[in-house]
């Protein structure tokens, strides 16, 4: 087991039964063939941040891969191929790399190989990772060129070094420390956390843009996309999916993720990969005469 809290005997027993029932990935293969795994939605966003004039960085975000018997590997490969085609300058991973057993991280090694090894890659752990063998998962990710951040921040290499990627430990079952996460970070901060629950821990800390997952958008939602049930540790329901304008000009993007847990299907909550362009707000003001908002719908809260 890993270092995650709240992984009691009842959850271990339940996941043991799941693993036995879904062994050999039969359910994922059938669900994928029947198009019940949700397909893949490419979400494209433009963000305008307080960066030097002429700044442009391509950022890809992917979360909740849930490699294992409930997620068909072909869906994972599609998601990573979309990122590779985008040729990002930085890639962020929002955690929950595996489900049911840490050994399933092996299913991500081939998809990860699709990505440019020279591209900086950063990750935080999800609750499922911390409940299993997070040390093994982190070691595999490190060997694949992914830096795992645990209440740490890293400045991007030049010419993108105006930005620090700040990785908060899992808000619900980990040991999140916002002070440590932001210590020494640059003025422009992109926050990476597994769950929107982390918003409750950030009082007094500044960031411009945050990425998270965990919610799966409910995984099963109404035809209008309203989640029926959210996993524990999701935080406020209003942050379940999409882009949100937070106080003080901050923004939060909550991904529906890629994979599945508990059941191998998605309904009205398709898998998502987020392909983002980060621009200087100065350039947009010069062109348009006023500060811009992102090109996509922002829900004000």
The predicted pLDDT at position 136 comes to 97
Give the Å distances, CA to CA, from 257 to 66, 93, 108, 189, 218: 9, 10, 15, 22, 10
Read off the pLDDT band of 96 (50, 70, 90): very high
The predicted pLDDT at position 288 comes to 55
Read off the pLDDT band of 1 (50, 70, 90): confident
In a domain, 145, yes or no: yes
Interacting residues of 143 by C-beta distance below 8 A, sequence separation 6+: none
Residues 178-215: pLDDT tens digits? 999 999 999 999 999 999 999 999 998 999 999 999 99
Residues 215-253: pLDDT tens digits? 999 999 999 999 999 999 999 999 999 999 999 999 999
Q: How far apart are CA 88 and CA 35, in angstroms?
A: 29
The predicted pLDDT at position 285 comes to 58
In a domain, 1, yes or no: no
Residues 29-57: pLDDT tens digits? 999 999 999 889 999 999 999 999 999 99
In a domain, 240, yes or no: yes
Mean pLDDT of 131-150: 97
In a domain, 133, yes or no: yes
In a domain, 150, yes or no: yes
Residues 115-137: pLDDT tens digits? 999 999 999 999 999 999 999 99
The predicted pLDDT at position 299 comes to 39
Residue-range definition of the domain harbouring residue 28: 9-300
The predicted pLDDT at position 294 comes to 46
Whether the per-residue pLDDT at 264 is higher than 70: the answer is yes
CA-closest candidate to residue 173, choices 234, 130, 217: 130
- Looking up residue 201, the CATH number of its domain turns out to be 3.60.21.10
The predicted pLDDT at position 286 comes to 54
In a domain, 3, yes or no: no
In a domain, 15, yes or no: yes
* Beta strands across the sheet bearing 90-93: 40-49, 271-280, 56-62, 90-93, 121-123, 147-148
The predicted pLDDT at position 284 comes to 75
Q: Is the pTM of this model over 0.75?
A: yes
The residue ranking higher by pLDDT, 290 or 100, is: 100
In a domain, 157, yes or no: yes
How many structural domains are present in the chain?
Answer: 1
In sequence order, what are the beta bridge partners of 177? Answer: none
């Amino acid at each position: 087991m890993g270092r995650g809290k709240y992984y009691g005997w009842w959850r271990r027993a339940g996941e043991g039964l799941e693993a036995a029932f879904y062994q050999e990935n039969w359910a994922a293969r059938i669900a994928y063939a029947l198009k019940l795994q949700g397909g893949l939605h490419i979400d494209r966003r433009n963000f305008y941040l307080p960066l030097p004039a002429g700044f442009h960085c391509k950022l890809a975000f992917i979360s909740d891969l849930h490699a294992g018997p409930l997620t068909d590997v072909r869906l994972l490969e599609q998601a990573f191929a979309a990122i590779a085609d985008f040729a990002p300058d930085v890639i962020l991973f929002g955690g929950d790399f595996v489900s049911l057993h840490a050994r399933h991280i092996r299913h991500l090694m081939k998809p990860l190989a699709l990505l440019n090894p020279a591209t900086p890659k950063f990750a935080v752990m999800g609750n499922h990772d911390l409940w299993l063998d997070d040390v093994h998962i982190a070691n595999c990710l490190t060997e694949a060129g992914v830096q795992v951040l645990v209440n740490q921040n890293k400045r991007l290499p030049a010419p993108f070094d105006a930005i620090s990627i700040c990785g908060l430990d899992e808000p619900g079952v980990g040991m999140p420390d916002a002070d440590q996460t932001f210590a020494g970070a640059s003025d422009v901060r992109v926050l990476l956390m597994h769950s929107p629950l982390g918003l409750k821990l950030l009082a007094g800390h500044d960031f411009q843009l945050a990425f998270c997952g965990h919610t799966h958008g409910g995984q099963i939602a109404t035809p209008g996309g309203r989640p029926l049930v959210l996993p524990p540790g999701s935080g406020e329901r209003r942050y379940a999916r999409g882009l949100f304008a937070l106080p003080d000009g901050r923004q939060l993007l909550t991904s529906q993720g890629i994979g599945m847990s508990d059941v191998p299907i998605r309904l009205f909550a398709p898998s998502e990969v987020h392909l983002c362009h980060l621009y200087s707000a100065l350039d947009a003001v010069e062109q348009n005469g006023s500060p811009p908002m992102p090109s996509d719908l922002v829900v004000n809260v």
